[in-house]
Structure 1
Amino acid sequence: MKKNIVMLIISVVLLCHSVVAAQGLLVDEPEAMERMRGTVLEVKDQRAEDHFTIQVVMIEIDRGSLQGKVEVVENHLSDHPVYDIPVEPGDRVMLMKETLEDGTYELHITEYIRDRSIIMLLMLFVLLLLLIGRSKGAKTLLTLALTFFMIVQVMLPGMLKGYSPILLTIVSSLVITIATITIINGINGKSIAAILGIIGGLLVAGMVMFWAGSQVKLTGLSSEEATMLMYIPQAVQFDFRDLLFAGIIMGALGAVMDVGISVASAMEEVRRANPEIAVKELVKSGMNVGQDIMGTMSNTLILAYTGAALPLLLLFMAYDASVVDIINLDIIATEIVRALSGSIGLVLTVPLTAVASAILLKRKPN
């Protein structure tokens, strides 16, 4: 019980420290701008004007320099669901206060407040993790906090300082893998075998991805967010292909870890049931388990990437684009290489883990 409490405290500290560090990565806003929070009390009027609909809204300011005041705000809607933020009484919204040169100010609704619901969902996840997983759940929470810490404290700041995205991702992946496996399973033959298989699978996935990306001439600029990085205030000269490859490695890490530890755990149970089993038979048992796993895990990777690109695929189908035209688009080729590279690394994790487990487990005394 004490260990679980200690791990929970460490997890909270890591998460809080990472959140504070993430705030430090953000660029300071001009002094004339201030973010606020408020609650919509009433929509007093809604009228059409030119090509816009204007909501006249009464908002009580909950946080900021105007806290406690009730302000009347004009909310401009353009009938475009991507950019519009229509509100109704009871909605909690983010506001931007813009101070003008004459000392007056204007308030603009910039977004709905979603963090409270997200925090509640996170708390439900943590609660279920601890209730069902108990000590393993506390360890899992610690590894999640460590993963978040590595991403926010090591990877992202390092990339913004101009360090190699691939090198940072590989180092972070190694730390995350070793820490996750050893925290949850301890330091033993099973953990070492799983780590060796996972690292081997990731390295293979990285090499395949690098070769395939070079062959199909991926630019790394297929997403809108990547092109926006050209204009960030830090003025970092990113190699966008490196960023793409780093993202593929990180995206495959979770599935590869799952396969590696599953195969290693199954093989340890087989050896425990039959201590005299030969290395060849032990490898065969691991391969049989891995074959069952790899089908579902490969589907997991491919379905995850397909789900992310679903609106785009629907758009192509709606306009009867040919399969050849679709495959040759940079954005689609990127997702295909991402999914297939990760799946190849995942598949090769099975034999690598099986061989490593068989050798390490047979070296242990009965």
Structure 2
Amino acid sequence: MTAPDEPTPLPPTRRRPDGATGATRATLILGLVLAPLLLAAVVGMLLTWPQDDGATGQRAGLVDVGVEHVTATVTGTRAQQCESTVEDRLPDGSQPDQVPCLKVLATVTSGAESGRDIEVWATPTLTASDVPDGTRIVVQHYPAADGAPETWAWSDFARGVPLATLALAFVVVTALVAGWRGVRAIVGLLLAFVVLWQYVLPGLIAGENAMVLALCASAVIMAVVLYLAHGFSLRTSTALLGTLTGLLLVGALGALGADAAHLSGATTEEDYRLAGLLGDNGAAALRGVFLCGVVLAGLGVLNDVTITQASAVWELRAVDPRATWQGLFTGGMRIGRDHIASTIYTIAFAYAGASLPVLLLLQIYGLPLGQTLTSGQFAQEIVRTLAGAIGLILAIPFTTAIAAVVAHAQAPADLRRSSGHSHVH
């Protein structure tokens, strides 16, 4: 018999679920949504994985068999006058008879010809001050074959040491500031580049559907990167779902924008050369390359905003365990609006910085602003930027809403155990 001062318990069917039950339900729902998406991405990668023996370039005649790239150290330079070419045409349309050119004297430091003294012509924009003695360069060695004499040609500067030093500094700083989470983020970044190099690029060359390549690779990359850097948790899964949704939006908007603006992906000399190298389907492949680039360009910023929004909502829930999911959503969106403003600037100025040489050329030619912005080259960047920005903006309320519902279902003790999320991706 129940004592008069004790509350009568509710029937089991009417009992309100506790935090553990709510978290379990949220985990189950997230798993049921994410598992098919990630499984589809993995299956898509397996079905579209390019089959290649590594000799595509040689079969197509793009790579000269026997050509060797070796390093060399500059021992001197000699300025001369050379006959001009069409590329030396001046802004007024005239072409000089002769132009200054630079011959570089160097000693080979790698390969079978190590220790040999050679001479190569530098690229037209270089002067003697750009190539002082001791500069390390990369040269191409064409052995004598079929009656053709042996040839040495300038390739590029040897930048391995400074780049490796800067990369090492990046790893050290990341590890010192972000700890093991930062190290795991770097490992995830390396794995992402492996996917791009081994799957996306060969797939584009093989003529696979570019949107399928981009979406499958992006989904797998994000799953690996997020879980590796932030661990398996409801918070990370929420951010992953928001990221995948944003990627689908970016891909759809990019495709619609490309169709509406009649973007073919071919706007520069390099684009047309690539189309020729890709064969009969080169024109269609270039459009696919553009769409693939739209999705991949949105990958980083989407990852940034979704993990930050999820973390913000979880922290709000930890500070106020009695907050409703509506209150968590409202508070998260206040943070999200600030994030939207700053991220839009980041996207816009990143593209502006990358396009600065083209902007300078258009400024020199004096083309009208309207004609400049609607030209193929700029239209591509505008569509890429706006598609990424719209997808990013819509991903923020979506991620915040999911995070609010899931965080509200989690017990306060679990929230405290999962605190300490960083902003390292």
Instruction: Tell me whether the two structures share a fold, i.e. TM-score over 0.5.
Output: yes
Distance in 2 separating the partners of 1:120 and 1:252: 29
Deviation at 1:105, TM superposition (A): 2.3
Within the candidate set 320, 341, 345, 1:299 is matched to 345
Q: Do 1:201 and 1:349's aligned partners in 2 also have CA atoms closer than 8 Å?
A: yes
Aligned to 1:38: 72
Q: Which one is further off, 258-267 or 319-328?
A: 319-328
- What's the secondary structure of 1:63's corresponding residue? coil
Q: Do 1:85 and 1:112's aligned partners in 2 also have CA atoms closer than 8 Å?
A: no
Correspondence list, 1:143-154, <5 A: 143-154=188-199
Q: Which one is further off, 183-192 or 233-242?
A: 233-242
1:283 aligned onto 2:283: no
Within the candidate set 124, 128, 133, 1:89 is matched to 133
Q: Do 2:236 and 2:307's aligned partners in 1 also have CA atoms closer than 8 Å?
A: yes
Deviation at 1:48, TM superposition (A): 2.9
- Greater Cα radius of gyration, structure 1 or 2: 2
Aligned to 1:27: 57
Q: Do 2:184 and 2:228's aligned partners in 1 also have CA atoms closer than 8 Å?
A: yes
1:75 aligned onto 2:121: yes
Q: Do 2:275 and 2:286's aligned partners in 1 also have CA atoms closer than 8 Å?
A: no
Distance in 2 separating the partners of 1:253 and 1:49: 47
1:167 aligned onto 2:200: no
Deviation at 1:243, TM superposition (A): 1.5
Aligned to 1:17: none
Q: Counterpart amino acid of 2:397?
A: P
Q: Which one is further off, 337-346 or 157-166?
A: 157-166
User: Gaps (5+ residues) in structure 2?
Assistant: 1-52, 84-97, 413-425
Q: Do 1:160 and 1:234's aligned partners in 2 also have CA atoms closer than 8 Å?
A: no
State the TM-score, normalized to the length of structure 1: 0.85
- What's the secondary structure of 2:109's corresponding residue? strand
Distance in 1 separating the partners of 2:80 and 2:361: 34
Instruction: Assess, with a 3 A threshold, how the Cα gap between structure 1 residues 183 and 34 changes in structure 2: closer, same or farther.
Output: closer
Instruction: Assess, with a 3 A threshold, how the Cα gap between structure 1 residues 83 and 191 changes in structure 2: closer, same or farther.
Output: farther
Distance in 2 separating the partners of 1:26 and 1:241: 21
1:64 aligned onto 2:111: yes
1:181 aligned onto 2:214: no
Aligned to 1:223: 268
Q: Counterpart amino acid of 2:250?
A: A
Aligned to 2:170: 125
Q: Counterpart amino acid of 1:306?
A: A
Q: Do 1:196 and 1:352's aligned partners in 2 also have CA atoms closer than 8 Å?
A: no
Instruction: Assess, with a 3 A threshold, how the Cα gap between structure 1 residues 27 and 235 changes in structure 2: closer, same or farther.
Output: farther
State the TM-score, normalized to the length of structure 2: 0.74
Q: Counterpart amino acid of 1:210?
A: A
Q: Counterpart amino acid of 2:165?
A: M
1:214 aligned onto 2:259: yes
Q: Counterpart amino acid of 2:269?
A: E
Instruction: Assess, with a 3 A threshold, how the Cα gap between structure 1 residues 280 and 128 changes in structure 2: closer, same or farther.
Output: same
Deviation at 1:204, TM superposition (A): 1.4
Deviation at 1:98, TM superposition (A): 2.3
- What's the secondary structure of 1:239's corresponding residue? helix
Deviation at 1:232, TM superposition (A): 2.4
Correspondence list, 1:11-22, <5 A: none
Instruction: Assess, with a 3 A threshold, how the Cα gap between structure 1 residues 134 and 25 changes in structure 2: closer, same or farther.
Output: farther
Aligned to 1:247: 293
Q: Do 2:102 and 2:126's aligned partners in 1 also have CA atoms closer than 8 Å?
A: no
Instruction: Assess, with a 3 A threshold, how the Cα gap between structure 1 residues 257 and 316 changes in structure 2: closer, same or farther.
Output: same
Instruction: Assess, with a 3 A threshold, how the Cα gap between structure 1 residues 110 and 85 changes in structure 2: closer, same or farther.
Output: farther
Deviation at 1:84, TM superposition (A): 10
Q: Counterpart amino acid of 1:116?
A: V
Distance in 2 separating the partners of 1:273 and 1:54: 68
Q: Counterpart amino acid of 1:48?
A: Q
Aligned CA-pair RMSD = 2.6
Distance in 2 separating the partners of 1:94 and 1:26: 24
- What's the secondary structure of 1:287's corresponding residue? helix
Q: Deviations over 1:201-230 (max 9, x none)?
A: 121122122112211111111233322222
Q: Which one is further off, 154-163 or 246-255?
A: 154-163
Distance in 2 separating the partners of 1:320 and 1:104: 47
Distance in 2 separating the partners of 1:166 and 1:258: 22
Q: Do 1:160 and 1:236's aligned partners in 2 also have CA atoms closer than 8 Å?
A: no
Distance in 2 separating the partners of 1:209 and 1:55: 45
Aligned to 1:13: none
Distance in 2 separating the partners of 1:76 and 1:140: 40
Aligned to 2:399: 353
- What's the secondary structure of 1:27's corresponding residue? helix
Deviation at 1:159, TM superposition (A): 1.7
